[in-house]
Chains A and B, each alone.
Chain A
Amino acid sequence: MIILDSLSFLVVAVISGAISGTIFGLVNLALVEPYLDRAIGIEVQNAVSAGEEVNPIEHVNYRFWQKGGEVVAGTILGMSFGALLGIVFVFGRKLIHGSNIKKALVLSGVIWLVIFMIPALKYPANPPTVGDPDTINYRQYLFISFILISGFTALGLSIIYHKINRKSSFKLLAVSVIYTGIIVGAFIAIPPNPDKITAPMDLVNGFRIMSMLTMTIFWVVLGITFGLIWDKLKPHEPTQFKTI
């Protein structure tokens, strides 16, 4: 029996996540920030129209601080998702043929689909000016519920899929149909986002497309980085002792 090297395994997951997350934050600065700046500009205009005083220099400094925060938060979020890919990879890598980069890419693609893309169809990303502060807890509850339903359904079905010792295309079709059925049920049963969109639709749609694009780039970069670092550190190989 081979015992996975814990330290190398942790390093692969966390470092690949940190690298991909930092790249994610920097890509967001270029692609998503113009939409965020425009949306925040509308919020500031609304505040000024409502009689609030806004100091332009303070506002610029504050936005600069938030943009730095975006990169740091990208690194943290990347480590988080790197940890998730690590857990999925260590249990799922033997089920996929090919190189470790291919395995990591396939598994990161599955995670992207299950915990990002499908929940995003129900609850797409919104720029500032769309969310009502009074509904934040409710919206967080709806969003996490949908992710958990999608994630745990996929996890449960993948376990059932591999427990059934029969090679047939029917098995794959059956679990796909069950997953789709449960997700369609969740789409119908879980309430929609309660907030009305008052921002210009070209801003909202442009923001959603860019958000989806950069999230997709993140998961591709994470899969490649994870596979490359795994190949470099080889946590699955027994420790080699050198004779001096």
Chain B
Amino acid sequence: MSFRNQIQISETKVPKAAIGLLIFVLCFGLFIVGYDQGQLFSLVQGEQAYSDLWVHEFAHDMRHAAGFPCH
């Protein structure tokens, strides 16, 4: 009597769209919290956004606490 051993290798396919969306979330979130110097609000507020720095001021304490450069 002979036995045949079968090994099933399961491969998981990673959806590219989900990875793309997560890369967007990563970059956008990091930009808002760590790097925005008025750029985001300048899209609606114009040049004034660069002196108001609303996003910068709102994320100010987290920016310091998480180690991002500030001021």
Which A residues are within 8 Å of any B CB, using their own CB?
A: 1-4, 6, 9-10, 13-14, 25, 28, 32-33, 36, 65-67, 69-70, 72-74, 76-77, 79-81, 83-84, 86-87, 90-91, 94, 116, 119-120, 123-128, 130-133, 136-137, 139-140, 142-144, 207, 211, 214-215, 236
Contact = CB atoms under 8 A, between A and B. Distances in A.
B21 interface: yes
Contact of A76 (B11, B18, B29, B57): B29
Which of B13, B34, B71 has most chain A Cβ within 10 Å? B71
Main secondary structure of the interface of B (DSSP, over half): helix
Contacts, number: 149
A86 B23 CA distance: 10
B65 A36 contact: yes
A140 to B, nearest CB: 5
Given A125-B64, A131-B70, 10 more contacts: A3-B15, A4-B15, A6-B17, A13-B25, A73-B58, A77-B29, A126-B70, A140-B68, A140-B69, A207-B64
B9 to A, nearest CB: 10
Contacts of B22: 10, 13, 83-84, 86-87
Contacts of B5: none
A83 B24 CA distance: 9
A199 B18 CA distance: 45
A237 to B, nearest CB: 10
A184 B23 CA distance: 28
Size class of the contact patch on chain B = 35 or more
A4 B12 contact: yes
Contacts of B15: 3-4, 6, 9
B63 A83 contact: no
B57 A77 contact: no
Contacts of A36: 61, 64-65
Contact of A73 (B10, B28, B62): B62
A215 B66 contact: yes
Which of A77, A140, A144 has most chain B Cβ within 10 Å? A77
A55 B15 CA distance: 54
